A and B are shown apart, each in its own frame.
Chain A
Amino acid sequence: MLRLDCLRSVYSELEDYLVVTIMGAVAAELQSLGHRPNFFYLQHAMGLASSTGLGLALCLPNQRVIVFDGDGSLLMNLGSLSTMARYRPRNLTHVVFDNESLLSVGGFPTATSAGTDLEGIARSAGIPRVVTVRDVENFRSAVCEASQRNELTTIVAKVIATGPSGYVTDLSLLENRFQFRRFIQSLTQH
């Protein structure tokens, strides 16, 4: 399963979410499908995309939030699973693209290539719903179901370790950040 196909399969639904992604391939691939003002790409600070999603979800309980995390990033901040589970905001969907690799920095294998089971870790951390998906159809239905059930869900999506040739896009980090905040202001002022 390709991460890009997963993103494409839910791209139209993402209009209704606040979207936070990790750096590297995830950010570049989502932008390749078309940037929107409700997408925020955390281009560094590995591990903090899920924390950012948690902050957004707790502060905007009526707004759906989705985080596109990765195995390398999540492994740097496993404690975030326990913090998310503790507060379990219903409006938060946590997707982890697990390619068993630190793809953006040379493709070195992560611990998930050697048996570390993120689904098991997330479940044991107390995330109320955790699923692993291996094909695009199931990925799409898992994302839709998380929203319909209105329950904090971690979706571990097993994907192939391949990505775009480069990661720098023409969207500056600050432009993205100011646009994202203005977008949320426009939602909350109505």
Chain B
Amino acid sequence: MPVSFANSKLIYETLKECDIRLVSTLPETWLVHLIRMTDEDPEMTLVRLAKEEEAVGISAGAYFAGVKSAMLMQNHGFLASINGIVSFAHLYKIPLLMLISYRGSLGERDPWQTQGGNVTEPVLRALRIPYFFLDSIDSVKKRIREAQILAESSLQPVAILLTRDLMWEE
């Protein structure tokens, strides 16, 4: 499977350095290594979801408890979480660090991913969610850390889009 193990590892190490101790997720191809690393790490709590919107509540609970968390999902999972983001995270000013695999963009071969690819950024902008791309190994640590800092200072969700350039090796 040509999902980049090395780059997944770099992302995972950064999450650990950012003191993330809970990750909630629904599996998707680009995220397989990240999910396995989380699952195998005794210091990390992995919550496997039925649907991504649950992660908003779980991360809010973790935040109330003083535990730093991250949501790991596909962009379609983000689209499935919108009411939770608006009616909980935005309404109650809850910081969320959302790592979203950006499927359906340039180079996408799966036809079923393409509509979600079209609307991901317009929806993020409509929701006024700050978002940043992870597209090269040089910026991984800096961007994830900065996204977490912004989420915590602004008390709002911040999105990191995991791109094909970073996650996929062909």
* Residues A45 and B88 in contact, CB atoms below 8 Å apart: yes
Partner of A45, one of B45, B48, B49, B83: B83
Q: Is B27 positioned at the interface, with any CB of A under 8 Å from its CB?
A: no
**Which of A18, A51, A58 has the largest number of chain B CB atoms within 10 A?**
A51
* Residues A45 and B61 in contact, CB atoms below 8 Å apart: no
Chain B min CB distance to A112 (Å): 20
Chain B, 13-52, CB within 8 A of any chain A CB: 22, 45, 47-51
Chain A min CB distance to B77 (Å): 13
| A147 neighbours in B (Cβ, 8 Å) | none
Per the bound structure, the CA–CA distance linking A180 and B47 in Å amounts to 23
Chain B min CB distance to A172 (Å): 11
* Residues A48 and B65 in contact, CB atoms below 8 Å apart: no
* Residues B48 and A86 in contact, CB atoms below 8 Å apart: yes
Per the bound structure, the CA–CA distance linking A43 and B87 in Å amounts to 8
Per the bound structure, the CA–CA distance linking A146 and B56 in Å amounts to 26
Per the bound structure, the CA–CA distance linking A40 and B61 in Å amounts to 10
| B69 neighbours in A (Cβ, 8 Å) | 55
Kindly supply a per-residue 1/0 record for chain B positions 47-64, scoring 1 wherever the CB is within 8 Å of any chain A CB and 0 otherwise: 111110111111111111
**Which of B45, B62, B94 has the largest number of chain A CB atoms within 10 A?**
B62
Kindly supply a per-residue 1/0 record for chain A positions 39-51, scoring 1 wherever the CB is within 8 Å of any chain B CB and 0 otherwise: 0101111111111
Partner of A180, one of B62, B64, B67: B64
Partner of B65, one of A49, A79, A184: A184
Per the bound structure, the CA–CA distance linking A180 and B66 in Å amounts to 12
Per the bound structure, the CA–CA distance linking A144 and B72 in Å amounts to 36
Chain A min CB distance to B104 (Å): 24
Kindly supply a per-residue 1/0 record for chain A positions 165-190, scoring 1 wherever the CB is within 8 Å of any chain B CB and 0 otherwise: 00000000110010011001100100
| A82 neighbours in B (Cβ, 8 Å) | 50
Per the bound structure, the CA–CA distance linking A80 and B60 in Å amounts to 15
Per the bound structure, the CA–CA distance linking A43 and B66 in Å amounts to 22
Q: Is B93 positioned at the interface, with any CB of A under 8 Å from its CB?
A: yes
Q: Is B1 positioned at the interface, with any CB of A under 8 Å from its CB?
A: no
Q: Is A28 positioned at the interface, with any CB of B under 8 Å from its CB?
A: no
* Residues B88 and A44 in contact, CB atoms below 8 Å apart: yes
Per the bound structure, the CA–CA distance linking A79 and B54 in Å amounts to 8
Per the bound structure, the CA–CA distance linking A174 and B63 in Å amounts to 15
Per the bound structure, the CA–CA distance linking A80 and B51 in Å amounts to 8
Per the bound structure, the CA–CA distance linking A101 and B48 in Å amounts to 30
* Residues B58 and A45 in contact, CB atoms below 8 Å apart: no
| B59 neighbours in A (Cβ, 8 Å) | 55
| A105 neighbours in B (Cβ, 8 Å) | none
Mind listing 19 A-B residue pairs with CB under 8 Å?
A: A44-B91, A48-B54, A48-B56, A48-B57, A48-B84, A52-B58, A53-B61, A54-B57, A54-B58, A55-B58, A55-B60, A57-B61, A58-B22, A77-B51, A80-B57, A83-B48, A86-B48, A173-B91, A177-B93
B contact set with A: CB distance below 8 Å = 22, 45, 47-51, 53-67, 69, 83-84, 87-88, 91-94
The 10 closest A-B pairs by CB, nearest first: A55-B61, A51-B57, A79-B50, A48-B57, A59-B65, A44-B87, A45-B88, A55-B58, A45-B87, A56-B61
